[in-house]
């Protein structure tokens, strides 16, 4: 009996310690560096800062200061893959956080958390397969200032890629973008083909989407994207060391929950990967305020250095 009690005590202590650590780790903001050989031969490197899933509330002053500090990386381009909000009053704090980054060319798409403020959910729901998880977002009206946020970003010079195409001259290259609104809440619609396209097309084609659902990745690859940039998964958020992500919160496989991979097959630089696009999935910088925990999955932004193939 005493042994049982001691074992239960040890298990409870281990659980409490893990939870306390996961709370600390949720604020251990990190910059990841990833090299992507995707540019035409002879092109100079292009530095792309990928920010995603800030899930910002007005009281998160450390996160705001960290996002502001990312401007010191002096990227050639910023890509924001959505889920910026975690509070109805986060618009001004978001503009404070992102303000220094808008000094650089940028593009963005929205995630479900740019339309709907977060609600407390049963944490056990997180471990259900996405097909069995209730989609609460679509049953209520959007309550976040999505349009005002998009206007503030576009006024600052960033391009809104919600179901849209765009072009930018970045670092001497013609970069063509195709973006999708969030597949997680069925807002993704592939934009019409580029009527103005001539010749060989842009030097680089980037696909941008919040949630990396299979249908969205297939659509972007089918559209000719050289690389796809996405967020949403939080990299699994609670990972098991040595095992990785347990969930992706969408129908993407767990093996590609975060980091650089190929889509649909191996990485383009691996044997057999010539038919694939690059896929970068950010593990994100935030969490829902109702589950402020991360385990073996530090919050991050990524500096993607695009180099010649
Ligand atoms: Fe998110």
How many angstroms separate the Cα of 171 from the Cα of each of 156, 201, 227? 19, 17, 17
* Helices 91-98 & 146-155 angle (0-180, nearest 10): 30
Give the distance (Å) from ligand 1 centre to CA of residue 82: 7
Cα 184 to ligand 1 centroid, rounded to whole Å: 11
Cα of 163 to ligand 1 centre, how many Å?
A: 19
Give me ligand 1 centre to Cα 104, in Å.
Answer: 24
What's the gap in Å between 287 CA and the centre of ligand 1?
A: 7
C-alpha of residue 86 to centroid of ligand 1, in Å: 9
Q: Cα–Cα–Cα angle for 114, 117, 119, nearest 5°? A: 140
If you measure from the C-alpha of residue 203 to the centroid of ligand 1, how many angstroms do you get, rounded to a whole number? 31
pLDDT at position 136 = 46
At residue 11, the pLDDT reads 79
pLDDT of residue 271: 94
The CA distances from residue 294 to 240, 285, 297, in Å, are 11, 10, 6
Distance of CA 21 to the CA centre of its chain: 24
Q: How far is the CA of 95 from the centre of ligand 1 (A)?
A: 18
113 CA from centroid of ligand 1 (Å): 7
Predicted model pTM: 0.93
With b for 16 or more beta-carbon neighbours within 10 A and e for fewer, the 275-297 pattern comes to ebbbbbbbbbbbbbbebbbbbbb
Question: HEC profile for the chain?
Answer: CHHHHHHHHHHHHHHHHHHHHHHHHCCCCEEEEEEEEEECCCCCCEEEEEECCCCECCCCHHHHHHHHHHHHHCCCEEEECCCCECCCCCHHHHHHHHHHHHHCCEEECCCHHHCCCCCCCCHHHHHCCHHHCCCCHHHCCCCCCHHHHHHHHHHCCCEECCCEEEEEEECCEEEEEEECCCHHHCCCCCCCCCCCCCCCCCCEEEEECCCCCHHHHHHHHHCCCCEEEECCCHHHCECECCCECCCCCCCCCHHHCCEEEEECCCCCCCCCCCCCEEEEECCCCCCCCCCCCCECCCCEEEEEEEEEC
**The CA-based dihedral angle spanning residues 86, 92, 94, 99, taken in that order and rounded to the nearest 10 degrees:** 180
CA of 144 to the centre of ligand 1 (A): 15
Per-residue pLDDT of the chain (309 residues; tens, 9 = 90+): 677 788 777 778 878 888 898 998 899 999 999 999 999 999 999 999 999 999 999 999 999 999 999 999 999 999 999 999 999 999 999 999 999 999 999 999 999 999 999 998 766 665 555 555 545 446 799 999 999 999 999 999 999 999 999 999 999 999 999 999 999 999 999 999 877 666 778 999 999 999 999 999 999 999 999 999 999 999 999 999 889 999 999 999 999 999 999 999 999 999 999 999 999 999 999 999 999 999 999 999 999 999 999
Rounded distance from Cα 288 to ligand 1 centre (Å):
7
Query: pLDDT value at position 129?
Result: 58
Question: How far from 55 is each of 111, 182, 287, 291, CA to CA, in Å?
Answer: 10, 15, 6, 11
């Amino acid at each position: 009996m005493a042994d049982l009690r001691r074992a239960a005590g040890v298990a409870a202590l281990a659980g409490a310690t893990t939870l306390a650590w996961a709370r600390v780790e949720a604020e251990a903001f990190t910059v990841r560096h990833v090299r992507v050989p995707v540019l035409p031969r002879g092109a100079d490197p292009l530095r792309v800062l990928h920010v995603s899933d800030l899930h910002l509330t007005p009281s998160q002053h450390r996160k705001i200061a960290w996002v502001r500090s990312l401007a010191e990386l002096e990227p050639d381009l910023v890509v924001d893959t959505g889920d910026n909000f975690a509070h109805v009053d986060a618009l001004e704090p978001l503009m404070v956080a992102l303000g220094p980054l808008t000094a650089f060319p940028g593009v963005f798409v929205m995630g479900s958390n740019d339309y709907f403020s977060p609600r407390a959910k049963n944490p056990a729901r997180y471990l259900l397969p996405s097909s069995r998880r209730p989609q609460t977002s679509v049953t209520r009206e959007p309550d976040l200032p999505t349009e005002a946020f998009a206007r503030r970003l576009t006024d600052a010079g960033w391009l809104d890629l919600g179901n849209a195409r765009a072009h930018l001259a970045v670092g001497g290259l013609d970069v063509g973008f195709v973006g999708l609104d969030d597949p997680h809440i069925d807002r993704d619609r592939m934009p019409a083909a580029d009527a103005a396209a001539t010749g060989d097309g842009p030097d680089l084609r980037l696909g941008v989407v919040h949630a990396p659902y299979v249908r969205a990745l297939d659509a972007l690859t089918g559209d000719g994207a050289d690389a796809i940039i996405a967020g949403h998964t939080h990299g699994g958020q609670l990972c098991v060391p040595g095992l990785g992500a347990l969930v992706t919160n969408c129908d993407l496989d767990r093996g590609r929950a975060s980091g650089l991979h190929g889509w649909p097959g191996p990485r383009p630089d691996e044997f057999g990967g010539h038919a694939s696009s690059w896929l970068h999935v950010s593990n994100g910088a935030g969490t829902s305020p109702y589950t402020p925990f991360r385990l073996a999955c530090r919050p991050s932004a990524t500096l993607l250095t695009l180099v010649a193939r």
